[in-house]
Structure formats: C-alpha cells, structure tokens
C-alpha cells in the first residue's frame, strides 16, 4: 500500500461509516424494527389463542401507544413509534368496521403497495424517492439531483431495489389475503416484516457506500455566510 492509497481508503471508510449512521437514523435501527413488528405479532398471537378480534385489536393498539409513551418519557425521537400507532389504528378501525380480523392487515398492505409504486414511479421521473428521504439525513438535500450524478444513480438503484422488493412482498401477501385463514396469514405477514426490510437496507448501503460522498449543502451555506461577513467587515474597516 502506498502513501497515496491511504487517504483514499480512509475517505471510503469514513463515507461508509456516515452511510451506516444515516441509514440507522433514517430507518430506526433495531428499536424501530421492534416497534414495527411487535403490534402485529401481539395481534396474531392473541387471535391465534382466542380468535377474538376485539381483544387482539385492543392489545395491538395498546402496545403501540405504550411504545410512543416510552419514547416520550425517554425524550427520544417518536417518528417511528407514531407511524406505528397510526398504522395500527387504521388497521383496528378497518377490522372493526368490517368485522373481519384479517382486515387488520389490509391498510398496511395497501400502504406497502403504494410505497412500492412510489419508489418505482419517482425513479422513472428522475427524482428517486430514497434520495428525497435520505438527502436531508446526509445534509445534502437535493444537491444530488444536479451536482452529484453518481450519487443520483445510486439513489435510483436503491429506490428500484426497494420498489421491487416491496412489490414481491405484495405478490406473496395479496393472494394469501384471499386464500389463507386469519391466523396463518398473520404469521406469514409477521415473518415477512423484517427480512425484506433488511435486504432493502443492505442493498441501499451497498449502493451508497460505493457512490460519491454527499455534498454538505449546510456546510456550504455556513461557509458562504462567513465569507460574506468577512467581506462586509473588510469593506467597513478603515484603510
């Protein structure tokens, strides 16, 4: 290894570390996954035991609210827990309205389908959804669209990956929604919560780790402000 190779490897390592941290923040990490799985797991467990829609729904909604309260008490970010509450609440309301316990899962399935289409359509339109989601996390906002073509390509690949993975998940779940009984369907859905998600996050990491580093637009704005202040101070100072 030459001395010229070392800085390049250090820069790549730093870029990968930043990418890992950003993905962890954006997708909630281990805790976010637990908050995503736990309500549905509790619902299908209780329903498998007693076949009672009301107690299953109340338990799932209760644990979702509890997760939010825990985050509030710990003064932690609540966006993942709140999204879980809304998702569970929609499922509970829908299932109660129809009287079919299987409909508890239908709003989430429709959301997954819509999200899959959004990933693919936005990428086809030249504005990959993943770039919109992760741009602020990387402090690059939309600079990747016009100033960082290699990064835009990585976001496009990752968005296509998310879209295709979620479409595959939908292709499995929607037929089962019609054919399988509620308990069996619920366990399949719970089993498919984490593996597709982890695959999509891993592919995102692979694509972004190989992409050019993000352009920190916030640092650029701060540098411009400092330069403007220095020019102003120089202009106002006596000769």
What's the pLDDT tens digit per position in 192-232? Answer: 998 999 899 899 999 998 899 888 887 877 787 777 777 77
Token pair for 98: 């129809």
pLDDT, tens only, 38-97: 888 999 999 999 999 999 999 999 998 888 888 778 777 666 666 778 888 989 999 999
Per-residue pLDDT, 164: 98
Please tell me the distance from the alpha carbon of residue 112 to that of residue 120, in angstroms, as a whole number: 13
The structure's pTM equals 0.82
Per-residue pLDDT, 85: 80
Token pair for 43: 């619902």
CB 115 within 8 A of CB 200: no
Per-residue pLDDT, 238: 61
| Sign of the Cα pseudo-torsion (32, 208, 161, 200, in order) | negative
Mean per-residue pLDDT of the chain: 84
Report the SS3 class of residue 230.
helix
Poorest-confidence range of 113-122, 147-156, 204-213? 204-213
Please tell me the distance from the alpha carbon of residue 84 to that of residue 77, in angstroms, as a whole number: 13
Please tell me the distance from the alpha carbon of residue 200 to that of residue 124, in angstroms, as a whole number: 19
């Amino acid at each position: 290894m030459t001395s010229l190779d070392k800085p390049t490897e250090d820069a790549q390592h730093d870029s990968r570390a930043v990418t890992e941290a950003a993905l962890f923040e954006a997708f909630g990490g281990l805790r976010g996954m637990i908050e995503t799985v736990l309500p549905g797991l509790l619902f299908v467990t209780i329903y498998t035991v007693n076949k009672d829609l009301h107690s299953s729904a109340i338990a799932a909604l209760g644990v979702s609210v509890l997760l939010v309260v825990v985050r509030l008490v710990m003064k932690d970010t609540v966006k993942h827990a709140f999204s879980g509450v809304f998702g569970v609440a929609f499922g509970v309301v829908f299932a109660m309205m129809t009287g079919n316990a299987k409909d508890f899962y239908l709003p989430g399935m429709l959301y997954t389908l819509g999200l899959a289409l959004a990933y693919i359509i936005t990428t086809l339109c030249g504005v990959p959804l993943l770039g919109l989601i992760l741009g602020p996390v990387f402090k690059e906002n939309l600079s990747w669209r016009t100033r960082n073509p290699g990064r835009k390509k990585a976001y496009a690949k990752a968005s296509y990956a998310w879209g295709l993975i979620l479409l595959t998940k939908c292709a499995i779940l929607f037929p089962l929604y019609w054919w399988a009984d509620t308990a069996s369907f619920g366990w399949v859905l719970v089993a498919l919560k984490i593996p597709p998600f982890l695959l999509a996050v891993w592919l995102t990491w692979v694509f972004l780790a190989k992409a050019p580093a993000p352009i920190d637009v916030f640092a650029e704005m701060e540098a411009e402000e400092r330069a403007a202040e220095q020019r102003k101070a120089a202009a106002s100072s006596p000769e």
